Each structure stands twice: as C-alpha cells, then as structure tokens.
Amino acid sequence: MSSSLVELAGTAQHLADVAARALQDCAGIAFEFKADGTPVTPFDRAVEHGIRTEIRRLHPDHGIVGEEFGAENEDRDHVWIIDPIDGTRQFSAGLPNFGTLIALCRGRTPVIGVILQPWTNLVCIGVEGLGTRVNGEQVRTAEATDPARVIACLSDPDAFDNDTQAGFEAVQKASLWNVYDGGCLGYASLARGLVGLNLNGPNLEPFDIAALIPVVRGAGGVISDWRGDALDAHSSGAIVASANPGLHDRVLALLA
C-alpha cells in the first residue's frame, strides 16, 4: 500500500531534521572542485548520505536521485531528488544564503518540496493539494500583479548569459527594488509573501528546481521556464516564479 502525501510529508520533515543536525554548527568549510568545475564540501556528501540512509530505511521501495551520489531505482513510482547544499559557494564562505533542497516526485511531478535553512531554523514544506507551510504555519504569496509594486529576488548577475541578459535587465528595471543571489531562500520568501518574483538564469539543474515547484504552487504562486512552460522533475535551465498568475503573465511579457 502506498503512503499518503500526509505521511510522506512527515518523512520529508524528518529528512529536513536529519540535514539540519548535520549542518547546524559548521561554517567556512574547505572545498574542492568536482569534474564539472562546481565546488563540493565534505558536508555536501555527508548530508546526502544521511538523507539517503533514512529514505532507504523508511521507504525501501522509493528511488533516489542526489547531486553527489547519482541515481538509484530512478524508475520507481516515487523518487526523491536531493540537493544537500544548494549554494555551496556561500556555505563555504560562511554565508547563510544556502539551503538543503528535498523533493518527492510521483513520475515526473514533484508533489512535495522542502527548503531548509538550518542556521536560521527555517523549514519550508510545500505539499500538492495541502499548501505550503513555513515552520508549521500556512503561508500565501503576495497579491500584487504589477511588477513595479513587488520586490524581485534575482540570481547572481553573472549567472545570466547573452540570451538571458536582456530579460534580466528588463525585470530588474521594472520591479520596485531588487535583492540578489538569494538562492533557494528567495523562493521561500516568495511563498511567505515577502518578495513578488524570483528570476534565475540558465545554470540550474533538476536538483536546483524540483523542490521549488511544490513550495511555490502550494502557496499560490506560479513557476515556469522563461517561455511560460511548466516545470517537472527533469527541468533545467532558466526559471521564473511569481506570486500569482496575473503578475506572472506580466513578468513573462518582460522576459519575452
């Protein structure tokens, strides 16, 4: 018998607790570069190992895809996608704008998403059909539909290339004001109604995206690629999230 989403959300909270304990008292950790040129620390591997161990114990019939250790049983009905430290550069520098991302997917659809920031004790969990909660409290996105009335959380300007620079600048100029390089925490702030939109360049992988989808949708927001096409567990590249459909339409027009 398959577990309900309520039960699986309990597993997601437990996995967040596992990651939080591993990351609570560490900063300025030495890093190395992987073959693809991206940095990794011992904590990236330790956190993913701990999460994988608990998934295997609690749900041995589930698949797992992790950034550091790859895929196992990826053809299962339920698959967890793990980014143990989203923002390794910031983490290595002792900065708090990083998080752990955990998603549960049914087929290609992410149905549970977790954004964890262990140093500030922030746990954001979105569950399909059940909404999004931050530290147990139900949250909703903002209602403004005019970009000029909302804060835009934009990724590192260096992340935008020749094909996306113009769209980045259009959103940058149209918003009320901007904050930069918030990473996954920007999407938690969108779910809480604190920022109106999030914009990321083309350097994202499925590990970076999957957990954000249920969080944004569960709070009433919209998330897509820059063309407005829906995202799923295999999506990569540039994405945009807005607080509501009306705002999203206007942001997509700017990006076009």
What structural domains and CATH numbers belong to the chain? 5-138 (3.30.540.10), 147-255 (3.40.190.80)
> Model confidence over 185-218: pLDDT tens digits?
999 999 999 999 999 999 999 999 999 999 999 9
Q: Looking at residue 24, what is its pLDDT?
A: 81
Provide the CB-side half-sphere exposure for 213 (13 A, CA). Answer: 26
pLDDT tens digit at each of 256 positions of the chain = 357 999 999 999 999 999 999 888 665 566 677 777 677 788 888 999 999 999 999 999 999 999 999 999 999 999 999 999 999 888 888 889 999 999 999 999 999 999 999 999 999 999 999 999 999 999 999 999 999 999 999 999 999 999 999 999 999 999 999 999 999 999 999 999 999 999 999 999 999 999 999 999 999 999 999 999 999 999 999 999 999 999 999 999 999 9
pTM of the model: 0.94
Dist CA 92 CA 95 (whole Å): 7
